[in-house]
Amino acid sequence: MAASIVRKCSTCFSIGRQLISLYPMSRRLQTSSSNNEYLADIVISGGGMVGAAMACALGHEELLKHKRVILLEAAPKREFKLPETFSNRTCTLSLATIKLLNSFGAWEEIQKMRCHPVHRMQVWDSCSNSLITFNQEEMTQELAFVAENDVILEGITRRLDAVKDNVEVWYKTKGKQYIIPGGDSSEDNSWITIHLDNGKKIKTKLLIGADGFKSTVRDASKLHFVTWDYKQTAVVATLCVSETENTVAWQRFLPTGPIAMLPLSRSVSNLIWTTTPENAKYLLQVEEERFVDAVNDAFWHDRDMNSVAVNVGNFLTNISNNLMQGDTSTRQLPPTVTGIQAGSRASFPLGLTHSSNYVRSRVALIGDAAHRCHPLAGQGVNLGFGDVTCLRDVLTKAVYDGSDLGSLSYLVDYETQRQRKVLPVIGTIDFLQRLYNTNFTPIVLLRSVGLQATNTLTFLKERIIKEATA
Amino acid sequence: MAAVKLVSRRCMIGSIRKGLANAIQNNTANILHHFEWKNTNAVLTTKSQIYRCLSTISAERPVVRTTIDEEELRKFVLLSQQWWDEQGEFEALHALNRLRIPFVRDGLLNQRGIPPLDITQPLAGFSVLDVGSGGGLLAEPLARLGAHVVGIDAVGENIKIAHIHLQQDTMIAGKVKYIEATAEDMVVTEEEKFDAVVVSEVAEHVTDLSHFIESCCRLVKPGGSIFITTLNKTQAAYFLGVLMAERVLHLVPAGTHDWNKFIPPVDLQYLLDKNGFVTRLVHGMFYNFLGKKWSWIQNTSINYAVHAVKIDSTKSQTSERKFKNDSIST
Ligand SMILES: Cc1cc2nc3c(=O)[nH]c(=O)nc-3n(C[C@H](O)[C@H](O)[C@H](O)COP(=O)(O)OP(=O)(O)OC[C@H]3O[C@@H](n4cnc5c(N)ncnc54)[C@H](O)[C@@H]3O)c2cc1C
């Protein structure tokens, strides 16, 4: 009796074999399922720069080519045409980010549109003369590139078209409700169910939350997070500058917050000025001429100079110059701002949000959904792209090991690796922003010594450059 | 027909134990088929009945769905969730996949010596028997890698649990078959049918090891592989595998393991040798209780894995091929 059943087993096995030929068909079956229910392997909620890059990276991965990826974006699809004027929203892209964008061809697309190299960064303090500069030996090597957010997103979107067989982008579609097993829901299926605002429903093995710092995926996953408001506002604008090369990124620490100028072209730079909400309000209202004066003043004035710190700083510079011959990190003067692109002023509130966990079973958070930091070091989006690289690699490994894509075991690897990178960066940025948000003498003294020392310790700077570009 | 030899897989949960007792009572002649869920003790008699059940396996909508007792189904769904909870009772087994899946994958690929045509389906074309398939923790990943997997378990409930979970993933549902049977049963019809037989965390539970290994070995095609992971018979294994795991840390229910049944690697190699196998690799495995992660180690005194290849008398040179296993880096 038992034997006869087992004998049949070879029969059923041959049925199993025939089924491989049905494999592509079973995919189609999933797509055209009835009553508005769709099946996916991975759903990414949020098609900002980070979410779009995630979809693109997964779509171009050989090992994931049979996986169905759906990207949900609340905004409609835009028909992009490169405008003549520059946008006021830009990002400094680190070399690591460029490597990621290169891996799916988006960097080439961005270069075809426009972006600008940064050869040197100069950071200095308004309360003392202390300064730190970053550049690789010859000024010919790029440290980073500055590109407009719109251009970056367009570059990625173009490369999404190349993988539209397995990556679908659903524009004007919002995740309304996420049912995540293990929560209050009593759904017996262990996959995640997403109810969309258009009445459709998706079941997926893995949900990636890339829906920005007010992430609803994070809320639905009941992931704990910390958040605080810096009570600071960032004022952005597109500036015209008198420069010949314009390949230096400038950042000066004022007691009210850092002011930064990022090169966009030979004669145009982007301004990110962190200041008090009151001052921001004033800056947005004043006539453009007065605004330009205010910017120049912020980069040049020496009203905040603290005599003790200046003296100590000069003393230290002398010593270190005597000790270390040939230190070429001389102070350069920032370019004069000559005008502002009409109507390019805008402001954003600043805050810090950090999710204590980036993952749970079948869920992963990336980009601002996991961590939002102060724009002080221009790290925000680079950290997000770092998440993309890491999560892509972890998921590829999971697939090569035959694991379910939502397996916590692999997702935890992503969380561990990323938190090891992100926490020190966020911590440092938060510390810096507190450190510089004062003109209290002992602290000014401390930081002038800090910057000065860091500037002369070449090996330390090289480490920082390496970290930022690795 | 011999009585059930294959005893409960490690970490069995209470209700499964009861099922096991039943299964032993009923002896293997009463092979329950997992598609006749309503009546657990049903014996399939007519050939057509059997065929219908088998052929519905990967149909879009299993016919049997309609005949499932709702309450019973819910029970099995719950049990299946317990099996598949990565942080639940079977956490250590889930974590072990990070070692044993690459171990089987790389072992098979290296043995064949030809790189896979489709990297997304590296095990396409391989037929694998998972002995003691439990909830399907090992069978599903192997199927995802392209293998055709038959999972056998002596406990009827496990077969249902595994089947319920399998149905969730349509991409692999057609590639896995679960059968309530023992390795000894399979030999009757499936001798030398499988490219690989995987015996993971099972051997330490059987009463007649020599007969069990012999059966497993007979199921392997000439030139095919057997992969075994189990516990060594050392003081350390007693201390960690029984005392710590069962009594102190409660990683697995008390009584899961009987130290007397643990197997020294030399004994296992001797048995494999006797059955015409050449051992390719013996490697230690270590479970970090705190990090909940397994890693490869040199030392085989607690847990270890063995890969052995059946000598193919038609091709003698296979045994001399240099062996390399990518999954192991200590
Ligand atoms: C003033 C300012 C200056 C900055 N400057 C820099 C800089 O120089 N360098 C740098 O690296 N970073 C900078 N940042 C940070 C950077 O902009 C962010 O880190 C980055 O935009 C985060 O991208 P994201 O894709 O994670 O989130 P977002 O850009 O917030 O994208 C979220 C997307 O999700 C969509 N969405 C939301 N909810 C849903 C839903 N339910 N369903 C579907 N879609 C949804 C939204 O439409 C949106 O497109 C700056 C930030 C600010 C405020």
What per-residue confidence (pLDDT) applies to A307?
66
Determine the residue of A43, A56, A89, A91 to mutate for testing ligand 1's pocket, defined as the one with the most ligand atoms within 8 A of the Cβ atom: A91
Q: Which of A9, A361, A409 sits opposite B190 (nearest CB)?
A: A9
Q: DSSP letters along A138-177, please? A: STTS-SEEEEEHHHHHHHHHHHHHTTTTTEEEETT--EEE
Residue B11 has pLDDT above 80, yes or no: no
3-state secondary structure of B186: helix
Residue B34 has pLDDT above 50, yes or no: no
Closest CA to B186 of B219, B149, B234, B223: B219
pLDDT class for B126, splitting at 50, 70, 90? very high
Buried (b) or exposed (e) across B97-124, using 16+ Cβ within 10 A?
Answer: bbbbbbbbbbbbbbbeeeebeeebbbbe
Q: Which chain B residues touch A62 with a CB distance below 8 Å?
A: 119-120
In Å, the largest CA–CA distance within chain B is 57
Q: Which two tokens stand for residue B249?
A: 């840390």
Residue A402 has pLDDT above 70, yes or no: yes
pLDDT class for B313, splitting at 50, 70, 90? confident
In a domain, A151, yes or no: yes
Mean pLDDT of A51-60: 98
Closest CA to A441 of A312, A314, A253, A317: A312
As a whole number of angstroms, the distance between CA B220 and CA B231 comes to 23
Residue A313 has pLDDT above 90, yes or no: no
What per-residue confidence (pLDDT) applies to B289?
81
Domain boundaries, given as residue ranges, for chain B: 70-318
Is B50 part of the contact surface with chain A (CB cutoff 8 Å)? Answer: yes
Residue A412 has pLDDT above 60, yes or no: yes
What per-residue confidence (pLDDT) applies to B328?
63
Is B141 part of the contact surface with chain A (CB cutoff 8 Å)? Answer: yes
- Structural domain range at position A424: 38-469
Check if A75 has its Cβ closer than 6 Å to any atom of ligand 1: yes
Q: What tens digit of pLDDT does each residue of A345-357 get?
A: 999 888 888 999 9
Q: What share of chain B is helix, strand, coil (3-state, %, to 5)?
A: 40, 20, 40
Residue A6 has pLDDT above 90, yes or no: no
Mean pLDDT of A457-466: 60
For residue A413, give Cα distances in angstroms to A56, A402, B144, B218: 21, 16, 21, 40
pLDDT class for A63, splitting at 50, 70, 90? very high
The CA-based angle A352-A357-A359, given to 5 degrees, is 125
Residue B286 has pLDDT above 80, yes or no: yes
As a whole number of angstroms, the distance between CA A301 and CA A200 comes to 58
In a domain, A312, yes or no: yes
Residue A170 has pLDDT above 70, yes or no: yes
Mean pLDDT taken over chain A: 82
- CA quadruple B203, B209, B214, B219: dihedral sign: negative
In a domain, A24, yes or no: no
In a domain, A166, yes or no: yes
Residue A144 has pLDDT above 60, yes or no: yes
Q: DSSP letters along A170-239, please? A: ETT--EEEEE-TTSS---SS-SEEEEETTS-EEEEEEEEE-S-TT-HHHHHTT--EEEEEEEEEEEEEEE
As a whole number of angstroms, the distance between CA B183 and CA B204 comes to 15
What per-residue confidence (pLDDT) applies to B280?
95
Q: What tens digit of pLDDT does each residue of B179-218 get?
A: 999 999 999 999 999 999 999 999 988 889 999 999 999 9
As a whole number of angstroms, the distance between CA A434 and CA B27 comes to 74
* Residue having the nearest C-alpha atom to atom 15 of ligand 1: A380
Closest CA to A131 of A463, A464, A466, A449: A449
What per-residue confidence (pLDDT) applies to B51?
32
Confirm if A266 and A242 have CB atoms less than 8 A apart.
Answer: no
What per-residue confidence (pLDDT) applies to A150?
96
Atom of ligand 1 nearest to the CA of A262: 8
Half-sphere exposure of B171 (CA within 13 A, CB side): 23
pLDDT class for B251, splitting at 50, 70, 90? confident
Q: Say yes or no for a CB contact (<8 Å) between B120 and A62.
A: yes
Q: Which of B33, B81, B95 sits opposite A5 (nearest CB)?
A: B33
Q: Say yes or no for a CB contact (<8 Å) between A403 and B101.
A: yes
- At A334, the amino acid letter reads P
Q: Which chain B residues touch A1 with a CB distance below 8 Å?
A: 29, 31, 43
What per-residue confidence (pLDDT) applies to A341?
94
CATH number for A392: 3.50.50.60
In a domain, A2, yes or no: no
Distance of residue B267 Cα from the nearest chain A Cα, in angstroms: 30
Distance of residue B212 Cα from the nearest chain A Cα, in angstroms: 18
As a whole number of angstroms, the distance between CA A392 and CA A101 comes to 13
Q: Which long-range contacts (CB under 8 A, 24 or more apart) does A275-281 make?
A: A275/A232, A275/A233, A275/A235, A276/A231, A276/A232, A276/A233, A277/A231, A277/A232, A277/A233, A277/A349, A280/A233, A280/A234, A280/A235, A280/A347
Query: Which of A15-24, A187-196, A236-245 has the weakest average pLDDT?
Result: A15-24
Confirm if B317 and B231 have CB atoms less than 8 A apart.
Answer: no
Q: Tell how far the Cα of A212 is from the centroid of ligand 1, in angstroms.
A: 5
Which of left, alpha, beta for A141 (phi over 0: left; psi -120 to 50: alpha)? beta
Q: Is B147 or B6 the better-scoring residue by pLDDT? A: B147
Mean pLDDT of A151-165: 96
pLDDT class for A438, splitting at 50, 70, 90? low
Residue A326: DSSP 8-state: T
What per-residue confidence (pLDDT) applies to B28?
33
Mean pLDDT taken over chain B: 77
CB atoms within 10 A of CB B259: 16
Closest CA to B77 of B22, B132, B37: B37
What per-residue confidence (pLDDT) applies to A160?
96
Residue A4 has pLDDT above 50, yes or no: no
Q: DSSP letters along B281-326, please? A: EEEEEEEETTTTEEEEES--SSEEEEEEEE--TT-GGGGGS----T
Residue A406 has pLDDT above 90, yes or no: yes
As a whole number of angstroms, the distance between CA A29 and CA A36 comes to 13
ipTM of the complex model = 0.78
Q: What tens digit of pLDDT does each residue of A285-298 get?
A: 999 999 999 999 99
As a whole number of angstroms, the distance between CA A159 and CA A101 comes to 10
pLDDT class for B174, splitting at 50, 70, 90? very high
Atom of ligand 1 nearest to the CA of A173: 43
pLDDT class for B168, splitting at 50, 70, 90? confident
A116-118 vs A144-148, strand pairing mode: antiparallel
What per-residue confidence (pLDDT) applies to A321?
59
Q: Tell how far the Cα of A380 is from the centroid of ligand 1, in angstroms.
A: 9
Q: Say yes or no for a CB contact (<8 Å) between A15 and B55.
A: yes
In a domain, A251, yes or no: yes
H or E element in which residue A270 lies: strand A268-275
Q: Is B172 or B76 the better-scoring residue by pLDDT? A: B172
Q: How far apart are the first and last CA of chain A?
A: 65
Residue A335 has pLDDT above 60, yes or no: yes
Distance of residue A420 Cα from the nearest chain B Cα, in angstroms: 16
What per-residue confidence (pLDDT) applies to B245?
77
Q: Say yes or no for a CB contact (<8 Å) between B186 and A6.
A: yes
Chains A–B, number of C-beta pairs less than 8 Å apart: 129
Closest CA to A426 of A366, A376, A365: A376
What per-residue confidence (pLDDT) applies to A320?
59
pTM (2 decimals)?
Answer: 0.82
Q: Tell how far the Cα of A216 is from the centroid of ligand 1, in angstroms.
A: 14
Chain-centre distance for alpha carbon B290: 26
Q: What tens digit of pLDDT does each residue of A206-219 get?
A: 999 999 999 999 99
For residue A281, give Cα distances in angstroms to A234, A433, A436, B180: 10, 21, 22, 74
Residue B140 labeled ligand binder? no
Q: Which of B84, B140, B186 sits opposite A190 (nearest CB)?
A: B84
A205: phi then psi, degrees, rounded to nearest 5: -80, -30
**In chain A, what percentage of residues exceed pLDDT 70?**
73
3-state secondary structure of A307: helix
Half-sphere exposure of B231 (CA within 13 A, CB side): 25
What per-residue confidence (pLDDT) applies to B261?
84
Q: Is A355 or B23 the better-scoring residue by pLDDT? A: A355
What per-residue confidence (pLDDT) applies to A136?
60
Confirm if B286 and B295 have CB atoms less than 8 A apart.
Answer: yes
Residue A24 has pLDDT above 60, yes or no: no
Q: Which two tokens stand for residue A247?
A: 């390949």
Residue A221 has pLDDT above 70, yes or no: yes
Closest CA to B38 of B160, B154, B153, B152: B160
Buried (b) or exposed (e) across B246-256, using 16+ Cβ within 10 A?
Answer: beeeebbbeeb
Distance of residue A187 Cα from the nearest chain B Cα, in angstroms: 11
Residue B98 has pLDDT above 90, yes or no: yes
Residue B13 has pLDDT above 70, yes or no: no
Select from 3.90.1010.10, 3.40.50.150, 3.40.190.10, 3.40.50.2300 the CATH code of B70-318: 3.40.50.150
Closest CA to A183 of A192, A171, A170, A194: A192
Check if A234 has its Cβ closer than 6 Å to any atom of ligand 1: yes
As a whole number of angstroms, the distance between CA B35 and CA B52 comes to 10
Q: Is B281 or B73 the better-scoring residue by pLDDT? A: B281
SS (H, E, C) A349-365: EEEEEEECCCEECCEEE
What per-residue confidence (pLDDT) applies to B149?
98
Q: Is B96 or B330 the better-scoring residue by pLDDT? A: B96
**In chain B, what percentage of residues exceed pLDDT 70?**
74
Is B31 part of the contact surface with chain A (CB cutoff 8 Å)? Answer: yes
Q: Say yes or no for a CB contact (<8 Å) between B44 and A5.
A: yes
Mean pLDDT of B129-155: 96
Q: Which of B44, B144, B179 sits opposite A9 (nearest CB)?
A: B179
As a whole number of angstroms, the distance between CA A33 and CA A25 comes to 12
As a whole number of angstroms, the distance between CA B184 and CA B132 comes to 12
Contacts (Cβ under 8 Å, ≥6 apart) of A237 = A88, A270, A271, A273, A291, A295, A340, A341, A344, A345, A346
Query: Which of A316-320, B127-131, B164-168, B226-230 has the weakest average pLDDT?
Result: A316-320
Q: Is B94 or B328 the better-scoring residue by pLDDT? A: B94
CA dihedral A103, A106, A112, A115 (to 10 degrees): -90
Q: How many domains does chain A have?
A: 1
Place of tokens 């349509």: B170
As a whole number of angstroms, the distance between CA B35 and CA B94 comes to 26
Q: DSSP letters along A413-468, please? A: HHHHHHHHHHHHHHHHHHHHHHHHS---HHHHHHHHHHHHHHHH-HHHHHHHHHHH
As a whole number of angstroms, the distance between CA B102 and CA A150 comes to 42
Determine the residue of A355, A381, A429 to mutate for testing ligand 1's pocket, defined as the one with the most ligand atoms within 8 A of the Cβ atom: A381
What per-residue confidence (pLDDT) applies to B111?
93
Beta-ladder partners of A135: A120
pLDDT class for A316, splitting at 50, 70, 90? low
Mean pLDDT of A112-139: 78
* Residue having the nearest C-alpha atom to atom 35 of ligand 1: A46
* Residue having the nearest C-alpha atom to atom 30 of ligand 1: A212
Q: DSSP letters along B104-135, please? A: HHHHHHHHH-S--SSTTSTTTT-EEEEES-TT
Q: Say yes or no for a CB contact (<8 Å) between B29 and A30.
A: no
